[in-house]
Amino acid sequence: MKYETTPSFRGDYKRLNKTERRAFRSAVESINEAYAEHRAHGGKGRPQWPKDLRIKPVTDARGGAVFEMTWSFAGPDGRATFEYFAVDDEEGIRWRRIGDHRVVTARNA
């Protein structure tokens, strides 16, 4: 799956420790696998994301349809926000923020 990152995401990512970065990369691998499965079966609608990532819409997000992903609630709390976008007629993910629960409540989630 294609992706891009916002400047806010890149700044947030630099502040993560190695354990947090590893956990995020693992979550992204799960997303890529789910998306590949989705595409293999026709690609209609939204993919069935892994339930353990708790992907859901962010209420009152500025800038449109933003989703949050939670890969860990404890030690350390791990969340990221993203939105869908299209590149060359292919759907992708724009990662907006990453960190703990505060990224979901940030003005620019």
Report the relative pairing of strands 67-72 and 78-87 from DSSP bridges.
Answer: antiparallel
Q: What are phi and psi of 14, to 5 degrees?
A: -60, -25
Question: Domain limits of the chain?
Answer: 2-39+52-105
Residues of the chain with pLDDT under 50: none
DSSP 61-90: -TTS--EEEEEESSSS-EEEEEEEEEETTE
**What architecture is domain 2-39+52-105?**
2-Layer Sandwich (3.30)
The pLDDT value given to residue 106: 61
The pLDDT value given to residue 34: 87
